[in-house]
Amino acid sequence: MRDAPEDRPLRAAPAAREAIVAALFDLFRRAGYDGVSLADISAATGLGKSSLYHHFPDGKPDMAEAVGAYALAAMREKMFAPLAAASPLAAKVDAMLATADAMYEGGLTPCLVANMLPSGAAASPVRAIIAEWIDALAAALGAAGVSPAQARARAAGAVVTIEGALIVTQATGDRKVFRDALAAARRTLLSGP
């Protein structure tokens, strides 16, 4: 015999949970973990406090973990996997830079990592975003014949350039800073073996 609908526990459909986490991602990315209140979260998701705690029993820490995992999965799919494709290095780098440009809206959209790390929220997945980005770039460079030490240095330098430019672009509103940084990262990454 099947349970009556009122006897079954309420669970968010996967699509509904994804929509909630996507809204949380946008909030945390723009205002940081500490800058977002439960009232902000309620307004963005359309869920009351009890519904939020139903989906995230430990409250904001659970939400931050879900957001960190969501962001890491998106980066793995959109940025890191293409770097491992069987394409020429320049095509891989150009695809990654185009994704970064679109994802950060020309430098005007904040980085989740920069806004989440100071609070320590979701530290593991948020740190993994940067670490895996550097690893993916270094592996792509290594596959193109760049020595491991040089590949790692170039990869780290490119990520620092991109992430640093995001902060400066946010502060100045000057998209040229971000465009120039993407071009500089490309030169760094493709500067030969």
Is 1 domain-assigned?
Answer: no
Is 98 domain-assigned?
Answer: yes
Give Dmax (Cα) for the chain: 68
Question: E strand or H helix at 20, and its extent?
Answer: helix 14-31
172 contacts: CB under 8 Å, gap ≥ 6:
none
Return the pLDDT at 15.
57
| Nearest residue to 107 via CA among 165, 184, 27, 187 | 165
* Alpha-carbon dihedral 116, 96, 144, 87, rounded to 10 degrees: 140
Return the pLDDT at 11.
44
Query: Cβ atoms within 10 A of the Cβ of 19, count?
Result: 14
Return the pLDDT at 137.
97
Contact 139, 84 (CB under 8 A): yes
Tokens found for residue 53: 């705690």
Is 15 domain-assigned?
Answer: yes
Is 97 domain-assigned?
Answer: yes
Return the pLDDT at 126.
82
Task: Please report, for the domain that includes residue 121, its CATH number.
Answer: 1.10.357.10
Ranges in the chain, pLDDT < 70: 1-15
Q: How many domains does the chain have?
A: 1
Is 2 domain-assigned?
Answer: no
Is 36 domain-assigned?
Answer: yes
Where in the sequence is the domain holding 140, given as residue range(s)?
Answer: 7-189
